């Protein structure tokens, strides 16, 4: 039975806690600090991203805990259902063995009845042969013949009864086989659902953990797209900076060649060349 979710599963109330929210915020804060340190985001952007990260981490942590308990409960239910199916399969096999034994016993009984009938017929023939010996013997033979006829009727009745029982057993066997097939299909369905739940768990985990994500997966492609977009923003900034400096250089060059372009105003040829070089490096030239 899965343990109930507690507040400590979500957060320990401290930055270095072991709660799911604590771990997510520690990872995201480290990423944001690195982005801020390298100058890829400003102070205003940092505050906005931190607030968004805080809300997203809370939502992800709650979702993770709820899905974890849901998956554990569903797995326990599936395991119990699988054990029930296995028990049902064993019961069906035992019942089939009992039916086979009963069928064999009926066949033996029918064979015995036929042998008795053959014996009675032979006795009847012997009585017919000695029919002429005496009237008394004839009367005895008639009585024995009547007895034989009764035995034949009884044997036929027993044979019919055995045949009916065999038909009933065959019908019961067909029914048990059909129920067994349904149980097998149910077990196969539950196995498929287990695989689906495991795949769903992998997909949900991939939302917060990049380990095991392949480049050709949806999440992998989204990550690559975000990286390309961030790189495009940097290239755009480089292009705008280079454009501004080259425009200033063109204006100053065409209007007044005596305009000073030095290290103070950062419009010297060396500064413009450095910006152009950065632009070329960014586009891979």
More confident residue, 7 or 180: 180
pLDDT of 171 strictly over 70: yes
Task: Give 262-284 pLDDT, tens digit per residue.
Answer: 666 667 777 778 887 877 787 67
Task: Give 84-113 pLDDT, tens digit per residue.
Answer: 888 878 887 888 888 888 888 888 888 888
- pLDDT number for residue 81: 87
- pLDDT number for residue 70: 75
Q: Where are the domains of the chain?
A: 7-212, 213-285
7-212 in CATH: which number? 1.10.287
- Give the chain's count of helices (H) and strands (E): 6, 0
- Provide the whole-model pTM: 0.26
How would you class 274 by CB atoms within 10 Å of its CB: exposed for 0-12, middle for 13-18, buried for 19 or more? middle
pLDDT of 68 strictly over 70: yes
pLDDT grade, residue 155 (50/70/90)?
A: confident
Q: What is the mean pLDDT of residues 213-236?
A: 74
Residue-wise DSSP of 113-181: HHHHHHHHHHHHHHHHHTTTS-HHHHHHHHHHHHHHHHHHHHHHHHHHHHHHHHHHHHHHHHHHHHHHH
């Amino acid at each position: 039975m899965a343990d109930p979710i507690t507040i400590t599963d979500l957060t320990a109330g401290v930055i270095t806690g072991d709660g799911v929210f604590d771990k997510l915020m520690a990872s995201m804060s480290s990423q944001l600090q690195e982005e801020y340190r390298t100058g890829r985001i400003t102070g205003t952007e940092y505050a906005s991203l931190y607030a968004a990260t805080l809300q997203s981490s809370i939502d992800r942590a709650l979702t993770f805990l709820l899905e974890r308990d849901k998956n554990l409960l569903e797995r326990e239910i599936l395991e119990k259902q699988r054990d029930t199916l296995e028990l049902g399969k064993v019961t069906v096999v035992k019942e089939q063995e009992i039916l086979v034994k009963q069928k064999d016993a009926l066949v033996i009984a029918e064979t015995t009845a036929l042998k008795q009938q053959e014996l009675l017929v032979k006795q009847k023939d012997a009585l017919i042969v000695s029919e002429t010996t005496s009237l008394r013997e004839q009367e005895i033979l008639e009585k024995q013949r009547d007895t034989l006829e009764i035995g034949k009727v009884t044997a036929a009745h027993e044979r019919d009864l055995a045949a009916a029982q065999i038909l009933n057993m065959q019908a019961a066997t067909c029914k048990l086989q059909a129920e067994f097939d349904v149980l097998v299909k149910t077990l196969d369905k539950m196995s498929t659902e287990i695989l689906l739940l495991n795949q769903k768990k992998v997909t949900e985990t991939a939302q917060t953990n990049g380990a095991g994500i392949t480049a050709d997966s949806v999440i992998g492609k989204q990550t690559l797209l975000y990286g390309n977009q961030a790189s495009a923003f940097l290239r755009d900034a480089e292009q705008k900076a280079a454009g501004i400096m080259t425009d200033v250089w063109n204006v100053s060059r065409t209007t007044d060649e005596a305009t000073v372009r030095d290290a103070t105003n950062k419009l010297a040829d060396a500064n413009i060349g450095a910006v152009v070089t950065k632009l070329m490096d960014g586009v891979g030239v």
